């Protein structure tokens, strides 16, 4: 989170010189950043789901890489939601609750981080009886957070 | 790379049942995937550049996280360019040379992976006299690959 604060501070610093566009740009960048990390997450999730559902051959090394990528993304999530990166900055699926209920949002993100960390551990076993349930658990943390904090249409 | 082959195989498998759209969707997904990973890379690069140029206060932990994120993205790069995910599938900056000169492309990607791995090591020292040059080295590998394989406009 500190990272984002610095970015915003830098943008605001810059805005003294060049007007308010710098801050706006920073918020637009943050929105693009979180959308990109969600996209990377989703792509890997889709492939893991296909392996769990046996629609694609299971490959241990690939699954481990995907689980690890999703966990890395989970650790970036909070950096993508600086204050001000709401629908006033640019179209976004993020609900205002992200910023009005920060503790609840943080709790949901931490649940995702923990579940995806456990998925990395499960993936290393190569045992689908451990991987499957932990994959579902992780997917559940995505859904829980999206239900509360992501609107279906861009506002 | 195996990962991508499976995805493509799954898409092609699916396309037997539902026509050629599944394969096309898979290619469009791959293009979105690589664009998203480049976006995540770029966002972190921009912030690291600001710290190296002293436009933003240097923070060791933040810099380490950014270097590590960029290195993780570098390890995904090749997964984002399956055969067929060219301008025939959807607008893309990727030049045909990605697929017609795979060895050269691979060499450039590996250079990025190695340079960003060394940047992670440099970041851990917290010593800007080691970080600065390695950051420039890494940025150079981006530029080299983009010069050969990325067109400025989407084709």
Q: What is the pLDDT of residues A62-87, one digit of tens each?
A: 999 999 999 999 999 999 999 999 99
Least Cα distance to A89 among A144, A35, A147 occurs for A35
DSSP state of B150: B
- Tell me, what's the pLDDT at A113? 98
In tens, the pLDDT along B101-151 reads 999 999 999 999 999 999 999 999 999 999 999 999 999 999 999 999 999
Distance of CA B86 to the CA centre of its chain: 16
Count A/B contacts: CB-CB distance under 8 Å.
76
CA distance B58 to chain A (A): 9
Kindly list the domain boundaries of chain A, sorted by start residue: 2-149
Query: Nearest CA of chain A to the CA of B148: how many Å?
Result: 24
Whether the Cβ atoms of residue A10 and residue B55 lie closer than 8 Å to each other:
yes
Strand partners, B94: B150
Instruction: From the options 3.40.50.150, 1.20.58.1880, 3.90.79.10, 1.20.120.10, give the CATH code of A2-149.
Output: 1.20.120.10
ipTM: 0.85
**Torsion angle defined by CA atoms of residues B29, B34, B40 and B42, in that order, rounded to the nearest 10 degrees:** -140
User: Which has the closest alpha carbon to B120: B78, B83, B67?
Assistant: B67
Instruction: Tell me the pLDDT tens digit for each residue of A39-64.
Output: 999 999 999 999 999 999 999 999 99
Residues in chain B within 8 Å Cβ distance of A35: 36
- Please, what's the largest Cα pairwise distance for chain A? 58
Question: From chain A, which residues contact B within 8 Å (Cβ)?
Answer: 2-3, 6-7, 9-10, 29, 32-33, 35-37, 39-40, 43, 46-47, 50, 55-57, 59, 61-62, 65-66, 69, 72, 75-76
pLDDT at B83: 94
- Each residue of B36-84: pLDDT tens digit? 999 999 999 999 999 999 999 999 999 999 999 999 999 999 999 999 9
Number of H helices, E strands in chain A: 6, 0
Say if residue A5's pLDDT is above 90: no
Tell me which chain A residues have a C-beta less than 8 angstroms from the C-beta of B46: 29
Q: Can you give the pLDDT at residue B25?
A: 76
| Residue B22's pLDDT band (cuts 50, 70, 90) | low
> Burial letters for B95-116: b for 16+ Cβ neighbours within 10 Å, e otherwise?
beebbeeeeebeebbebbbebb
Known binding residue B145? Answer is yes
* Confidence band for A1, pLDDT divided at 50, 70 and 90: very low
pLDDT band of B24, cuts 50, 70, 90 = low
How far apart are the two ends of chain B, measured CA to CA in Å?
Answer: 24
Tokens, residue A109: 């993100």
Which pLDDT band, with edges at 50, 70 and 90, does B155 fall under?
confident
- Tell me which H or E stretch contains A31: helix A21-52
């Amino acid at each position: 989170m500190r990272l984002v604060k610095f970015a915003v501070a830098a943008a605001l610093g810059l805005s003294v010189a060049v007007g308010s566009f710098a801050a706006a740009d920073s918020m637009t960048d943050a929105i693009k950043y979180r959308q990109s990390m969600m996209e990377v997450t989703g792509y890997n999730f889709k492939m893991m789901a296909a392996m769990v559902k046996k629609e694609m051959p299971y490959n241990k090394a690939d699954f481990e890489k995907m689980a690890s990528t999703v966990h890395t993304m989970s650790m970036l999530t909070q950096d993508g939601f600086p204050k001000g990166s709401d629908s006033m900055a640019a179209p976004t699926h993020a609900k205002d609750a992200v910023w009005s209920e920060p503790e609840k949002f943080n709790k949901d993100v931490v649940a995702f981080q923990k579940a995806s960390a456990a998925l990395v551990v499960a993936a290393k076993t190569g045992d689908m009886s451990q991987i499957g349930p932990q994959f579902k658990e992780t997917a559940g943390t995505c859904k829980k957070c999206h239900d509360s904090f992501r609107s279906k249409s861009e506002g």
